[in-house]
Structure 1
Amino acid sequence: MVAARAFPPDSAKHRDAPHRSDARHRTGERPDAPSPECGRRQAMTFPAYITTSWDDGHPLDHRVAALLSKYRLEGTFYVPATTSDRPTMSAKQLRELSKSFEIGAHTLNHVDLTSVTTETASREIADSKSWIEDSTGVRCECFCPPIGRYRKEHVHMVQRAGYIGLRTVELLAIDFPRSLAGLLHIPTTVQAFPHRRAALARNVIKRMAFGNLWRYIRHGRTADWPALAESLLSQVVARGGVFHLWGHSWELEELDQWQRLESVLRLMGQFARQAPAVSNGQLCRLPMPPVAASGQTVPAAEAAAAGGRR
C-alpha cells in the first residue's frame, strides 16, 4: 500500500468555491438570468455552474489545460499512474498540471473495477489517492472509475478511502452532485465525443435516467455534440443547474475534435459571469440549492415547470 499523506487544512488549494458575495447569489437568485415566464418558474430557479473533467492522464491533457486557461475555465483531470495501451503524463507533467488544475484519481493502473478481485479494487482505489497526493502535494478529493464501471461495493471503497466525490459517466444530466452512501455522485452533461443517438439512449436506459432522455428529446435529439452542448448550456444559464463537459484528450486527437472543443469552451467562457466555472471538487463543496436541498432535483423542477406540456 502507498503511504497516505497528512495535509494541513489550507493545503487543498483547489477546494474553495468561487467567492460570491451578492446576497442574491446566496439565496439562489441570479440577477443575470433571463426573466422567468411565470412566478412558478421563478420559484424554481437554481444557481448555475460550469465544470469540466478529463480522463486517463494522457500527455495531451496539457493541450486541454491550455484551452481551459485561455477561456478562464476550470477542470478536473482524472489521472492513473499507468495505462496498458496509451502513454500517461510524466511525474513532472503531472506536478505542473496540478499547479493550475484539480487532479482526481482514476485507479493506479486504469483497471476496470468490475473485472478484478475485491482486494485489488480496494487497493487500486485507495493507493491512487495516496499516489496523487504524494506526487502533487495536494489533497485528492474526487475519484472516477475507469470505463465508468463500478458496483455498490466499490462506492463504499471510494467513501472509505476518503474521497468526497465520485464522477460517473452518466450523460445528459444538469444536476448538482447527488448524495448516496456518504459520497457525492457527479453526473455529466455532454461528452466531447461524436456519440450516435443509440449510444446516448443506452446510457439513459442503463441508469433508468428517463429525465435525461426527456431532456435530450426537448433539446432536439441531435447527435452533434457541440450543438447539444450549446443547447444544454443555454438552459443551465437560464434556469440553473450544472453544465458538465467531459472527455479524453487522446480521443480529441484521434477523432480531430480540437476545433469543435475550442468552440464549445469559448461559449462556456462567455457565460462564466452567469455560471461560474468550478472544479469537480469545488462543485462538491458548494451548498446545495434551497430547492434541491429540500428533496427536489433539477430534473424534478423541470418536469414540474413543464406542467404537462409533453
Structure 2
Amino acid sequence: MFTFTTSWDDGDKNDLRIADLLDRYGMRGTFYIAKSQKNRLSEEDILALSKQQEIGAHTLTHADLPLLTKEEKIHEIQGSKEWLESVTGNSVHFFCYPYGRVDEETREVVATLGFKAARSSVKTLGTKPTDPYMLPVTTMTYRAPYTPITKMLLIAGVTPASNSGWEVLVREKLEKVAADEGYFHLWGHSWEIEKLKLWSSLEMFLKEVSLRKDVLYVSNGELADKVFYGE
C-alpha cells in the first residue's frame, strides 16, 4: 500500500475544477491560497472549497519570504492564517512556501505560529517525510521543465513547447513509489493546467490511479498527522 496526496498552489479560480476532479475520483488535496493573487477564488468560493478539501495558507501577497525581515515574515504568514480562518470558520494548520523558497528563519516562524506542517518544493521519489515543515513533493503537473524562463512565458501568455513527456514520467514515478510502498505527492497550479490545456491529461491520470487497490488517499495535513503525529 502506498500513500497518494496532492496539493495546489495560489488559490486560482480553477482550483474549484481541481477539487471537483478529486471528489470524482475519491482523492484528497490541499489548496494553498494567497490573499492577494490574480484571478483568486472569492471568499465564498474558498468557504465552499473548505467543505470539499483541505485549505492551507500561502502568505498574504505570495511573498518571497527569505527576502523579508522577521517581522515582515510574521505579518505575511500569520496574516494569511488569520484571514483564511475568518473566511472558513476553521483552524488552518498547514502552510506552503511561495516559490518553494524557505530559509531557517522562515521555517522557525511557521513552526511558532501554530502550523503543524508546511509543504516545500523539495522533490523526492516517494521517501517518507522527515521534517513536518519541509514536506517534499514527487512531481509537478506541468508539461515543460519548470524554470524561470518557462514561468515568464506562461505569465506572458506563451505556451512552452512540450518536451518533458509529463504523462510518461508521472506514471513511471507512480509505479516506482507504489512498488516501494512510499509517498506520492502530486502538486501544481490550476492556472497552469488551464493555460496548457492539461485537464484531460490530468483527469486520465487521476482516473487510472483511482482504479488501483494498493493506494491510500490523504490530504497534506492527513499525511503529516499520519507520519509525525500518530493521528
Question: Which TM-score tier does this pair reach, normalised by the shorter chain?
Answer: 0.7 to 0.9
> Within 5 Å, which residues of 2 pair with 1:40-189?
47-83=1-37, 86-179=38-131, 183-189=132-138
Kindly provide the amino acid, as one letter, of the partner of residue 173 in structure 2. Answer: L
Q: Describe the SS at the equivalent of 2:217.
A: coil
2:107/2:133 contact within 8 Å kept: no
CA distance in 1, matches of 2:189, 2:227: 29
> Within 5 Å, which residues of 2 pair with 1:15-30?
none
Kindly provide the amino acid, as one letter, of the partner of residue 152 in structure 1. Answer: E
1:176/1:186 contact within 8 Å kept: no
TM superposition outliers: structure 1 runs of 4+ over 3 Å: none
Aligned length: 213
How far 1:287 moved relative to its partner?
Answer: 4.1
More strand by share: 2
CA distance in 1, matches of 2:135, 2:144: 20
Q: Which runs of 5+ in 1 are unaligned?
A: 1-46, 200-221, 289-310
TM-score, with length taken from structure 2: 0.87
Partner of 1:248: 189
Verify: 1:259 aligned to 2:190, yes or no. Answer: no
How far 1:224 moved relative to its partner?
Answer: 1.4
2:125/2:173 contact within 8 Å kept: no
How far 1:237 moved relative to its partner?
Answer: 2.0
Q: Describe the SS at the equivalent of 1:50.
A: strand
Larger radius of gyration: 1
CA distance in 1, matches of 2:80, 2:107: 15
Q: Describe the SS at the equivalent of 2:108.
A: helix
Kindly provide the amino acid, as one letter, of the partner of residue 53 in structure 1. Answer: S
Partner of 1:194: 143
Kindly provide the amino acid, as one letter, of the partner of residue 54 in structure 2. Answer: E
Partner of 1:225: 166
CA distance in 2, matches of 1:254, 1:115: 29
> Within 5 Å, which residues of 2 pair with 1:2-21?
none
CA 1:173–1:122: 2 relative to 1, 3 Å = farther
Kindly provide the amino acid, as one letter, of the partner of residue 90 in structure 2. Answer: V
CA 1:144–1:93: 2 relative to 1, 3 Å = same
TM-score, with length taken from structure 1: 0.65
Partner of 2:225: 285
Query: What do residues 210-259 of structure 1 show as CA deviations (whole Å, max 9, x unaligned)?
Result: xxxxxxxxxxxx92112111111112222211111000000011111111
